[in-house]
Structure 1
C-alpha cells in the first residue's frame, strides 16, 4: 500500500471516529434531556398526586365536619324531643291522677245519692194543714182580702209566728212554683204577694242576707231604698214600696216522717 493510500485511510478513520464522537455527544445530551423530562414529569406526577390527596383530605374533612355538625344538631333535637316527651308523660300522669280522683269523687257522690234515695223512700214529707208542699219546703199562700192584707214587715211578722219566713227563691223551678201560686183574682183585689226580697244598701237581698244573683228575675229593676218585691201570676216580679199592703207567701222546711213497714 502506498503512503498516499495509508494517509487517506488514516484520515478517513479519524473522520469516522470524529463523527461517532459527535453522535455520542448528541445522544448524551438527548439522554440528559430525556432524564430531565422524566424527572420533571415525575415531580409533576408527585405534585398532582399530593394535590389530589390534599383535595380529597380537604373534602373528607369538610364532610366529616358537616356530618359531625348534623349529628350534633340531631342530638340536640333528640334531647329537646326527649324533654318534651318527658313533660308530656308527666302531664298525662297528672291528668290520669286527676281523672282517677274525679272518678272516685263521682262514685262517692253516686253512693251518697243512692243512700239518700234509699232513705227518702223510707220516709215522706209532711206539711201542716193548709200549706202546699214543693220540693223540700212547705208554702202558705196568704191571699187575704184588702182589709186583711199586710205591709212587708207585717207579712214577715206573720210568717215568723207560723215558724217560717217570707219565701226565698233558690232556683228556676222554685220560681215557677212561687209565680204559679201567686194567684191572681178576677176582681183585681190582689195586687201581688210579698216574697222575702227587699232593698238593703242599694242591693236586692233575701231574708237570709244573700244577694239576688239573677237580676233577670226582677227585670233589671234597680234596688231603691224602701222598696220590696212582689210576685203575681203571669207577671214579672215588681218593686213596690214596702209600706204597700199585699198578700204574702210564707215558707218553711218540710218535716219528714218515717214510713211504717
Structure 2
C-alpha cells in the first residue's frame, strides 16, 4: 500500500429474496390487537345476556307472585259469591214465607168473622167498587190530611189513593161515596201532566182542569168533574186495593 493512502474495510452481507417477517413478539402483539375488540364485543354480549336472564327471572318471579295473588283473589270472590247466593236464597225463602203469611192474613181478614163462613170480596170497613175495594175516610175536618199524608196512610193499609182508569171505575167510586166535602184520589200533576199513583196517565182530560204545578185531584160525590187544588190543602181521602176473588 502506498504511503499516505487510507485503508478502507467493507462489510459484506448476503440478502435473500422473500417477505420480511417481523420478530415473533411483534407478530403476537399484532394478533392480540386484532382479537381484543372481538373479546370486548363478546364480553358485552355475555354481559347483556346475563342482564337479560336476570331481568327475565325477575319478571317471572313478579308474574308468579301476581298469578298467586290473582288466584287468592279469585278464591275470595268465589267465597263471596257463594255467601251472596246463600243470602239471596235465604231472603227469597223468607220473602216467600212472608208472602204466604201475608196472603193468609189477608184471606183471614176477608173471611173470618162472617156468620155464614163465606169470604167477602172486601175487608170489613171497605166497600166493593168492582174490581176494587175502597175505604172512604169520612172524618171530621180536624183529621183531614194533605195529599201526601193521605197517600202515606193508604200505603200503611197495603193500599193506595183511589184510581179510576175508565168511566165505569169512576162511577163505581161515586156510587159508594159518602158526603159532599170531597176526597183526595190518586191523581196529581207530575212533570206538567196529570198522572195516577200507579204511574199511568189520565186518559180523559175532560174530567179535570188542565194541569198546574203542585196540584192534586179532589173527587166530590155526584159530580162528573174533579177539582184541581193545591196538594197541601187538607181533605178526606179514598184508599183503594184489589178485591178478593170469591
Larger-Rg structure:
1
TM-score, normalised to structure 2, is 0.49
Higher helix proportion: 1
